[in-house]
């Protein structure tokens, strides 16, 4: 398929730009859709009483995984995709996968029941970063090639470059509100609940001596 054919497809008689469609999919489909399994996972942790099993340790691991995904997302929303940003995205995805394995091991070692439904939710949370990254790499294949060449010949390869076409303040505000409501507040509540349960156990232990 030649470049023009790859860039545009005809759907129901109308020609659409594949790049624009993919960008809309990332901004209005994949990214908002990420919040659903995240909330479902939090609900499973609550249902299996994480505060009485793995406790604060597992909850902190969840916070770490959110940071590993959240930093590349925040940078991608504000800056151009280039070798530096691709490196951050690839590194974040790899570290997130390793941390996810640590998370499940921590839960199992603590005897917290990780039910099949929760395992299925994890499959979404682990695959979505790779789906997003694959789409971005297809959109910015020139930057992938630049990364493979070590950024040679590109003075902006290894620095953060603000988006030439910034996302609208309304979209950024909406995503920020959704992250607060669907990620920061639920998982902050989880960490607080685990910390309180840990303090209560320590008090009971001191009284029992």
- pLDDT tens-place string over residues 148-158: 999 999 999 99
- pLDDT tens-place string over residues 81-121: 999 999 999 999 999 999 999 999 999 999 899 999 999 99
- pLDDT tens-place string over residues 43-73: 999 999 999 999 999 999 999 999 999 999 9
User: Of all residues in the chain, what percent carry a pLDDT higher than 70?
Assistant: 92
Alpha-carbon distance of 50 to 76, in angstroms, equals: 33
What is the pTM assigned to this prediction? 0.87
Alpha-carbon distance of 71 to 133, in angstroms, equals: 14
- Among 7-16, 94-103, 138-147, whose mean pLDDT is lowest? 7-16
DSSP annotation string for the chain: --HHHHHEEEETTEEEEHHHHHHHHIIIIIHHHTHHHHHHHHHHHHHTTGGGTTHHHHHHHHHHHHHHHHHHHHHHHHB---HHHHHHHHHHHHHHHHHHHHHHHHHHHTT----HHHHHHHHHHHHHHHHHHHHHHHHTHHHHHHHHTTTTT-TTTTS--B-SSPPPHHHHHHHHHHHIIIIIHHHHHHHHHHHHHHHHHHHHHHHT-
Tokens of 126: 């682990």
The answer to whether 160 touches 100, Cβ cutoff 8 Å, is: no
- State the distance between the two ends of the chain, measured CA to CA, in whole angstroms: 76
């Amino acid at each position: 398929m030649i470049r023009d054919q790859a860039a545009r497809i005809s759907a129901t008689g109308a020609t659409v730009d594949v790049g624009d469609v993919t960008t809309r999919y990332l901004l209005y489909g994949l990214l908002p859709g990420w919040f659903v399994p995240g909330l479902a996972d939090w609900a499973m942790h609550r249902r299996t009483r994480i505060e009485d099993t793995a406790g604060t340790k597992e909850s902190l691991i969840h916070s770490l995984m959110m940071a590993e995904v959240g930093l590349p997302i925040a940078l991608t929303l504000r800056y151009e995709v280039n070798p530096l940003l691709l490196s951050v995205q690839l590194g974040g995805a790899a570290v997130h996968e390793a941390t996810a394995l640590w998370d499940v091991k921590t839960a199992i070692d603590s005897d917290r029941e990780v039910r099949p439904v929760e395992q299925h939710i994890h499959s979404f949370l682990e695959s979505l970063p790779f789906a997003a990254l694959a789409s971005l790499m297809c959109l910015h294949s020139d930057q992938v090639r630049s990364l493979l060449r070590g950024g040679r010949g590109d003075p902006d390869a290894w620095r953060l470059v603000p988006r030439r076409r910034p996302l609208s303040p309304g979209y950024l505000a909406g995503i920020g509100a959704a992250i607060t409501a669907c990620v920061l507040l639920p998982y902050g509540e989880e960490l607080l609940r685990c910390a309180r349960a840990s303090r209560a156990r320590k008090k009971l232990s001191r009284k029992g001596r």
